[in-house]
Structure 1
């Protein structure tokens, strides 16, 4: 059984209080916290607070965070947000992130977003050296095709994208 440090629990309690106050800048500052668990939670919370103005913060996490789990969460989050200014950071991660875990999630997120602009990036990902990324590109391209040609329900299409 893993023991969670008291300092993390204390901070999570404080985060909950700040969340209830919608203190966006508090969570932006936590994106640079030394604890990857806190950075991951701060990423999720900012996304939950909504708004296209959060995309640059999440994109910076995707590009610069040292922990692949945190970057993975940022890729997932950008896909869920579905703002067009999240496309370039996701394409960059799909092409260049050193982690297969992150490249896979970035490809899936591009498929969820459903933009025709990402087709070339996803087609290139079919040649990624790692099978999970290639498989994710297949899923994402399939969803793009479905969204372009058959889907009548955008929410359903996004749910099937990965």
Structure 2
């Protein structure tokens, strides 16, 4: 695995996303974030929505938030509203706040009624970050600042 990492063998790690061992799948998610950039979004979204292990799905949600690409928003919304694991729903909400897409606002409002306190609080934090980003845009900033990313979750 280490040799493939240094070779930046993206295809090798995409195959590992389907490995029988959940630990290897989780590691593959982390490595793809590092070596594949935006090309990793689609396969990691697939992991988020379809992996049988909640810890792996949680890692996928976290990783998508750290990557910050808006094309992950739909998968994150789906996971936040529908995943059986409160830990995945929580992490998806945080990731949506970090990404900062207004498309997530309605879904985050729904998540304020989630049965899990952690999910509700995560949605509240994410919505506060969306409000901060909207305020920043009104002041003329079109980019998501490092500060907003760090405080979005």
Describe the superposition over 1:59-78 as per-residue Cα deviations: whole angstroms up to 9, x where unpaired: 01001111101000000111
Give runs of aligned pairs for residues 20-31 of structure 1, distance below 5 A: 20-31=6-17
Runs of 5+ in structure 2 lacking a partner? none
Contact 2:10 2:36 (8 Å CA) reproduced: no
Describe the superposition over 1:138-158 as per-residue Cα deviations: whole angstroms up to 9, x where unpaired: 010011111111486711110
Corresponding residue for residue 56 of structure 1:
42
Corresponding residue for residue 5 of structure 1:
none
Corresponding residue for residue 160 of structure 1:
151
Describe the superposition over 1:93-113 as per-residue Cα deviations: whole angstroms up to 9, x where unpaired: 011000000000000000000
2:96 aligned counterpart, secondary structure: helix
Give runs of aligned pairs for residues 111-126 of structure 1, distance below 5 A: 111-126=97-112
TM-score scaled by structure 1? 0.88
Corresponding residue for residue 86 of structure 1:
72
The CA deviation at 1:82 is 1.2
TM-score scaled by structure 2? 0.93
Pair 1:103 & 2:94 matched: no
User: Which structure has the larger Rg over C-alpha atoms?
Assistant: 1
For this pair of structures, how many residues does the alignment match? 148
Please tell me the root mean square deviation across aligned C-alpha atoms, in Å. 1.2
